[in-house]
Amino acid sequence: MTFEAIVRKTYTVDFLNKKRVKNEGIMSQYYVENDHPAIIPKSVFMQVQQIIKQRRNGKYCFSQKVFCGKCGDILQRNMWYRPEKVAVWRCASRIKRSKIGRRCMIRNIKEPLLKEATI
């Protein structure tokens, strides 16, 4: 297994202050292959990246785990600030219009009720 990298993702703007900025086409970038042996196999790296991507979406205990019983879309967490602060889980197609243009009309579920139901 070999190492792959993109060189010059950032560059130094001011050598005195050592300030670096993201390279957005100002300097040329290079893709380097077979520079030195990789620490882990690429297949393992890709699996870990997939797990990281899944966990990024899973900020809360029910994230990516609770689905709408009516339309099958994922439930998303929202905060309500009516008299008191309360977390509710809403169907994603109710929050934003789905591809077919209709909104799901399932009721919101308050997080304490959802926690109680799972315990």
Residues 71-107 pLDDT 10s: 888 898 999 898 889 999 998 887 776 555 667 888 8
Place of tokens 């109710």: 94
**Taking Cα atoms as reference points, which of 39, 38, 72, 74 lies closest to residue 54?**
74
**Taking Cα atoms as reference points, which of 96, 87, 91, 85 lies closest to residue 106?**
91
| Inside any domain, residue 90 | yes
**Rounded average pLDDT over 40-63:** 82
| Inside any domain, residue 70 | no
| Inside any domain, residue 42 | yes
Place of tokens 């991507």: 53
| Inside any domain, residue 67 | no
Give the structural domain span for 98.
75-118
| Inside any domain, residue 6 | yes
Residues 16 and 46 in one domain: yes
Share of the chain above pLDDT 90, in %: 29
